[in-house]
A and B are shown apart, each in its own frame.
Chain A
């Protein structure tokens, strides 16, 4: 999977559960994937599918309690991040792996200037002195196309617009020249014209620095514009994993297949959108068998009983469906 660069990140069998009063929430339940240098991977899914928790688990940022990484390995350049002590992993966070979050309103500290916050990882990881760090921070602000960088350096987050704050976050994440960037819904909270700017910026920076990007989002349009590989998640598991064109044009899992047909598109008008009945399941009481089967238009009896394994339906195309190759011709007889 992925491009020809060497493997930067290998996630193997990751399981993160939350132990709550109501029961155990299996937020991430056996997720595996790779990320190569310079590759852009999109992790797609709707709310509650576990994509954000996966990202947090990679950097071991899951709040514990109630969350716990039960099983799995996260190999970054061969070393398991989950086994690292506090000091060691802090060397990785912000330094080798940068992360940006969805809502720049709440991810930036309102009482410190933007400059101060961008400078922080530089001071921590790069060992520059204050003056050098400030210089570098201003360069970073320019790199993310914030006009009047020197002036803006001294301003506070509330003086920035949403788009600019997100750029500042990107600057912070890239300040130490990381090899990898995790972007968790970087454009969801932004207007569409600003969203286009931000995604364009990330794409440009990725090309310039050969960054590996792990993009987490529910927006299929955004993914189509930037990703090379797509990982589709549902109810805590990986249901499909392939190159982007395969997923969009030749999906081998009913979930992504139906999703593509239920999204309204700007360039066509369909009379009636295809829908996926029901809603995503509760992660505490997952149905037995395939978690998607209650909503699947092609489900058969076996789907309710047995959980489908993630298999290679075609070379380089993984799918967790009993009928990955030919699901269109399945389905119980249902009277509408």
Chain B
């Protein structure tokens, strides 16, 4: 299967503290430090990690919302980081994003109709009639009613606002949608609605998703492939069932062990791996393997040599000197 999007060796460091000169000497937050990934058309790549791992930054780098320090993003065969504004505008039709916060992702002063039609207006597509028509179609497709076009975001619930966000993302018929924690801020009973909707849409429109989340259970449900990030790097990547049944990187093992299951009997029987200590600071990541400070398998080489991300089993990449389950 061809990759629709490929990110190569992406690096983004943020300076610590803003300001003119002196504050810039304080060091950098190595938010994304050499990340490569790719996603095949029509599939979903899940990107998991805890706070500070860089996954949201990766999303924004992909869309050129932030300027990358180094690296390439190959979309439809071209490196979009090198495109001029005019060409990038065209690319933007094909790549869209859905945000986490249903309350902050819609402009409270714009009607739902205006919100959904905005991409069409920006790209100069159709006349007013056609845009309204399409907006109605989109609303219905995401499970809302055409009369909602005239209403304002604050009149809707969190789940409904997310649906509006989805409608907005679909307006220009994108090929790829980046979902940045789209269900984290929603109630449990609403999460399922949105996840099902996303899956349906993917089937109907052959959409490709990059699904970013910290909730492993959600990611498992919706992704074909999953990549795990830790402190700015990808530490493991595999096809979903393989990852969950046979994780290779200790961090992944610990992560999965930490996720509580809504099943009291299983929970009582479980042997948990509880990591000791906090996540190190991305300003000063540990040398060698970044996870070694919390890893129970750590040996000398781990703090000296950074393990490369390589294939430990067919189609299964991990960055560890002593992987599990091999």
Contact = CB atoms under 8 A, between A and B. Distances in A.
Q: Do chains A and B touch in the complex (CB under 8 A)?
A: yes
Interface of A: 46-47, 161, 163-164, 191-197, 199-200, 218-225, 227, 244-245, 248-249, 258-260, 262-267, 269-270, 272-277, 279-280, 295
A161 B51 CA distance: 12
8 contacts: A191-B51, A221-B260, A224-B262, A225-B261, A264-B217, A266-B216, A277-B193, A280-B189
Contacts of B190: 279
Given A224-B267, A266-B244, A276-B192, A192 B262 contact: no
B279 A266 contact: no
Contacts of B311: none
A333 B4 CA distance: 45
Contacts of A46: 187-189
B188 A248 contact: no
Interface string B227-256: 000000000000011001000000000111
Interface stretch (B10-18, B30-38, B270-278): B270-278
Contacts of B258: 192-193, 195-196
A8 B126 CA distance: 68
A263 B275 contact: no
Do most interface residues of chain B lie in helix, strand or loop, or is the interface mixed?
helix
B324 interface: no
Contacts of B189: 46, 258-259, 262, 275-276, 279-280, 295
B186 to A, nearest CB: 9
Chain B interface size range: 35 or more
Query: Which of A248, A275, A295 gathers most chain B CB within 10 Å?
Result: A275
Given A163-B278, A269-B220, A244 B51 contact: no
Query: Which of A259, A260, A267 gathers most chain B CB within 10 Å?
Result: A267
Contacts of A270: 221
Nearest to B52: A191
A266 B217 contact: yes
B2 interface: no
Contact of A200 (B196, B272, B278): B272
Interface in B184-231: 187-193, 195-196, 199, 214-218, 220-221
Contact of A197 (B193, B255, B267, B274): B274
Contacts of B196: 272-273, 275
B240 A269 contact: yes
Interface in B6-61: 50-51
Given A193-B255, A193-B258, A224 B263 contact: yes
